[in-house]
C-alpha cells in the first residue's frame, strides 16, 4: 500500500473541517477546546480513510498530544495513523499505542450497516456537532467538560462519563439538546457525587478564581454559545466584555429569548455579570 496515495483524501477532509470549525478555531489559542477540535478532525480523517476506517481506533488529544489506541493489521496502517495525526492542526506529538495484529477485528462493513450508510457530509456534521457540544460543556461554569464524553451518530448525541450531581447531568443534557441540529440526546451520565473533600473543593475554587480570563476570550465564547443554541438568534446579538462584565445588544423576538440569552452569557466561565441592552421585536 502506498501511504502517499491518501494525501488528496486527507486534504479534502481538512478543507471540509476547516469550513465547519472556523468560527471557533479562529480564537481557540491555548484553550482546551482546541484539543476537542483536533480530536474531531482526527476522528473524521480516520473515518474517511479507506485504509484505516475498518479499524476501531480510539483517539485522545490533550494539550496537543494525541494518543492512539486499538488494533490494526500491519505496521503500514500503524505508521499511517501516526502520520495522519501529525498532519492535524493543533497536534504536535503522537503517542502511538496501536497494536499490530494480523487478525485485528474489523468494524462491520456489510451493505446494511448503518455506519456504512453515513455519507461524507453526515460524518463531518456529526464531528462538528460533537465539538460544538464539548466546547459548550468546557466553557460552562457548572459542567466539568473534560469528564463528559460526547459521541454523535446521525445527529443523535450520547453523553457518558461521571458527574457530581443530578443538576450537572440535567444541565449537560439540556446544553446538548439545545444545540442546533441535534435530534436526540441519550444521557448515560453517571452521578458519582462529590469526588473531593470540602477543603480541596475550596482550594480548587480559589485557584480557578485566581486565573485570569481575557475579555476577548469571554466575548468569543459567549457569542459562540448564543449562535450554537437553537432557541436564540445569536447572529443578531452583539457581545462586548469589559473587565468580565458582558453587555448584550441587539434585537430579540421575545422576552423568553432575552432571558435565555442572558442566562447563557451568565453561565460562561469568567463572566462576573451581564448587562442587557436587548430590545424586543
3-107 fold: GMP Synthetase; Chain A, domain 3 (3.30.300)
The pLDDT of residue 159: 92
Q: Which is more confidently placed, 281 or 86?
A: 86
How many angstroms separate the Cα of 179 from the Cα of each of 69, 86, 132, 190, 271? Answer: 30, 30, 8, 22, 21
**pLDDT digits 0-9 by tens, 201-211:** 445 554 454 45
The pLDDT of residue 88: 86
How far is C-alpha 12 from the chain's CA centre? 21
125-195 fold: 3.30.1340
Give me the mean pLDDT over the 173-198 stretch: 81
* Residue-range domain boundaries for the chain: 3-107, 125-195, 212-280
> What percent of the chain is modeled with pLDDT above 90?
12
**pLDDT digits 0-9 by tens, 28-55:** 444 555 787 888 788 878 877 777 766 7
212-280 fold: 3.30.1340
The pLDDT of residue 68: 93
| pLDDT beyond 70 at 260 | yes
| pLDDT beyond 80 at 121 | no
Three-state secondary-structure class, residue 84: helix
Strands 184-191, 58-62: pairing is unpaired
Strands 184-191, 156-163: pairing is parallel
Amino acid at each position: 500500500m502506498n501511504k502517499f496515495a491518501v494525501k488528496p483524501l486527507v486534504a479534502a477532509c481538512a478543507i471540509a473541517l476547516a469550513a465547519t470549525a472556523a468560527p471557533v478555531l479562529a480564537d481557540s489559542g491555548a484553550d482546551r477546546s482546541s484539543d476537542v477540535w483536533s480530536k474531531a478532525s482526527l476522528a473524521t480523517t480516520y473515518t474517511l480513510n479507506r485504509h484505516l476506517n475498518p479499524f476501531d481506533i480510539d483517539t485522545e488529544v490533550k494539550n496537543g498530544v494525541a494518543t492512539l489506541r486499538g488494533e490494526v493489521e500491519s505496521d503500514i496502517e500503524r505508521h499511517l495513523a501516526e502520520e495522519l495525526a501529525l498532519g492535524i492542526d493543533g497536534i504536535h506529538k503522537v503517542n502511538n499505542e496501536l497494536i499490530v495484529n494480523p487478525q485485528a477485528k474489523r468494524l462491520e462493513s456489510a451493505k446494511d450497516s448503518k455506519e456504512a450508510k453515513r455519507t461524507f457530509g453526515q460524518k463531518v456534521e456529526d464531528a462538528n456537532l460533537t465539538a460544538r457540544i464539548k466546547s459548550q460543556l468546557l466553557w460552562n461554569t457548572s459542567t466539568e467538560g473534560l469528564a463528559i464524553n460526547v459521541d454523535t451518530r446521525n445527529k443523535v448525541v450520547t453523553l457518558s462519563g461521571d458527574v457530581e450531581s443530578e443538576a450537572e447531568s440535567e444541565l449537560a443534557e439540556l446544553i446538548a439538546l439545545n444545540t442546533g441540529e441535534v435530534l436526540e440526546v441519550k444521557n448515560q451520565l453517571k452521578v458519582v457525587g462529590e469526588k473531593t473533600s470540602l477543603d480541596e473543593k475550596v482550594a480548587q475554587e480559589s485557584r480557578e478564581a485566581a486565573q485570569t480570563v481575557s475579555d476577548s476570550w469571554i466575548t468569543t465564547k459567549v457569542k459562540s454559545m448564543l449562535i450554537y443554541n437553537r432557541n436564540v438568534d445569536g447572529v443578531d446579538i452583539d457581545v462586548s466584555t469589559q473587565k468580565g462584565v458582558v453587555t448584550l445588544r441587539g434585537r430579540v423576538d421575545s422576552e423568553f429569548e432575552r432571558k435565555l440569552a442572558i442566562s447563557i452569557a451568565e453561565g460562561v466561565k469568567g463572566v462576573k455579570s451581564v448587562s442587557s441592552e436587548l430590545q424586543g421585536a
